[in-house]
Chains A and B, each alone.
Chain A
Amino acid sequence: MRQRARLGMAMFLLSEAVFFFMLIAAFVYFRDARTAAANLRLGATAVYTVCLAASSVTMWRAAESGVRSWLVGTIALGAIFLFGQGREYVRLFHQNVTISQGLFGTTFFTLTGFHGLHVLIGIAVLGILLRVGAPAAMEAAALYWYFVDAIWIAIFSVVYLWSFL
């Protein structure tokens, strides 16, 4: 069962990787580094990125040890990341950068929005695992969480780091 859950999740994540690749490619296709650098905040987002990366470590500990507090820590770090993304969005709205306001907004909000949705779903799944936890489900959820974190590193690199080069 554990092998099946792992393999099944891995196959699903393969398809997710293609999905995000296409959204990232669209961002690059319409890349507008000047608008990005003028509006995005690199420093704050870097801090939240570290939080998300750290959550992969706590997730790994949770899956290895089965200790609930590691899971709670993972959820908390994921929530902090989402909070950071929310702040970034609100600030951009105030600067009149929205999804309908030019191609930077269109590609930025679609890409980061779908990533944020994935983090949110991950938090919901981990919340369920706090109540009912089969080892196979925990391993599969951990794989998903690592994937969502890794995709963010790619998005952060393309959307933030590349724009500020």
Chain B
Amino acid sequence: MSGLAIPAEQPRTGWRAWISTVDHKQIGILYMLTGLFFFLVGGLEAMAMRAQLSLPNLKFLSPETYDQIFTMHGTTMIFLVVMPVLIGFSVYLVPLMIGASDMAFPRLNALSYWLLVAGGFLLYVSFLAGGAPDAGWFSYAPLSEKPYSPHSGMDYWALSLLLLGFGTIASAVNFVVTIATMRAPGMTIRRLPLFVWMTLVNSVLILFALPALNAALVMLLCDRLLAAHFFDPARSGSPLLWQHYFWIFGHPEVYIMVLPAFGMISEIIPVFSRKPIFGYGFVATSTLAIAFLSYGVWVHHMFAVSLGHVFLSVFAASSMLIAVPTGVKIFSWAATMVGGSIRFTTAMLFAVAFLLEFTIGGLSGIAFAAVPVDWQLTDTYFVVAHFHYVLFGGTAFALFAGAYYWFPKISGRLLSEPLGRWNFWMVVIGFNLTFFVQHFLGLLGMPRRVYTYPDLPGWGTLNLISTFGAVILGLGVLVFCANLVASMVFGVYAGNDPWDAWTLEWAAESPPRADNFEKVPPVRSRRPLWDLKHPEAADWAAGAD
């Protein structure tokens, strides 16, 4: 590899080190911080929407601005927050968890990150270049086509998502190769930490799902920039084709945004219950079932399109079926806690809250799988409530749990537990106030994606409660940010293994040295650190995997 090798002398500190880094730990941190930044931006957009919706017939935001804000909020939260933060955790943790010194392709890893920065920049520069995209994060045709969205916002949207898509695919390639070829001796596929398992399955999902979006995006760009007619009904193109393509990507995307979160929960709950995970094999293989089924459910986003009863029935059945492997996981986590000596750290509180909130979101999702229910509730706030329970109550809660759990490894210091309690309760109360009432608004028929609403009985009150909850939620997030900053400076030193945990990352220093391990501990079971600390009761001696 002469002439292509990575420069040997890498400065490890200073801003030059950060922008030139190919170290998976620094890149992971950059991913997470970038995601946090966009989380605050997307959160501000949400606040602007909640302000506009706090009372009936408000004129705080114009309809045009509202369309831009809700499009940017959705696009930001999905592509610039959830995915980067999840990938950031994986980039940071996967090599440590499998006992490797870095990712398989360190420079590709850095490229993925910088594509994220470029994509985020491109999306937001649209505000200055004539207006942000305004056709929703799903960009249904023909609304996204030139005649209906003539300014350049949609072009920026599509180009930005293409860049982000390339970066995500490159990350997925990197994860697959890293996990396939760089595991420490003894780290068999059946001994992989579940977070690594989920990252692996997730990467395969990405490899199949993101290119479908990329194809749809280049077709949209051809329509908009070269006057092609893929999705233009006036020239016999098909808006329905966009919907199919977008949701063939879009539904696996939902699982892409939640599987790594499942992985985090599968690491955190056992450690704070002092029990190995219940049904490791079931948790791992149910993930494969979810990944497989997630490609066969996309039409449930399109039940309101008349597609024929047989077609709808098949997709209703598959959508209900996918709840089964997800339920298996919920029961595994619950069974892990049963009989354990549970320590309610902030990380564990968020993990338990994840179980409850995600289950609510999952159950309202099963309700939608029934076509007549979907017809009644589609495009109402019930849908908004549903997917925020899955994505905030699910993924974001898991991310908070993961932040409290792994921050000591990343920074060397513990996050403050008292601030953590404030963070936790404000987020839980704020979140449920904001979104639980939206179930009722949906049942009352309030349409989503509309900038205001008439003064009908109950609507104003429920919306005001929702906005009030959003303020508490926002403040709770600020408490989290304050905790990050304060604990970086004043936090208690964590030591290598503050939680008495079992996976390999806790054998490294906190923060880990440049090459991660001086010596990787022997891996003879799923809990190598348990074996190290308790040779008399080692898992491998007891015959466990």
Contacts and interface: CB of A to CB of B under 8 A. Distances in A.
Interface stretch (A14-22, A38-46, A55-63, A141-149): A14-22
B18 interface: no
B212 interface: yes
B291 to A, nearest CB: 14
A19 B211 contact: yes
Give chain B's interface residue range (CB within 8 Å of chain A): 35 or more
Interface string A101-116: 0110111011000100
A89 B206 CA distance: 34
B230 A26 contact: yes
7 cross-chain pairs, A with B, having the tightest CB-CB distances, nearest first: A22-B215, A100-B227, A19-B211, A18-B211, A106-B228, A11-B173, A15-B207
Interface residues of A, number: 31
Contacts of A137: 4
Contacts, number: 98
B1 interface: yes
B207 A22 contact: no
Chain B, interface SS category:
helix
A23 interface: yes
A108 B18 CA distance: 45
B176 A11 contact: yes
Contact of B218 (A4, A30, A110): A110
Question: Binding site of A, secondary structure by majority: helix, strand, loop or mixed?
Answer: helix
Contacts of A165: none
Interface of B: 1-4, 104-105, 108, 169-170, 172-174, 176-177, 180-181, 206-208, 210-212, 214-216, 218-219, 222, 226-230, 235-238, 241, 245, 248
A110 B214 CA distance: 13
Contacts of A132: 2-4
A8 B173 CA distance: 6
Given A26-B230, A103-B229, A103-B237, A11 B177 contact: yes
B177 A8 contact: yes
A99 interface: yes
Given A26-B241, A106-B230, A4 B207 contact: no
Contact of A16 (B206, B211, B219): B211
Given A12-B173, A15-B208, A22 B105 contact: no
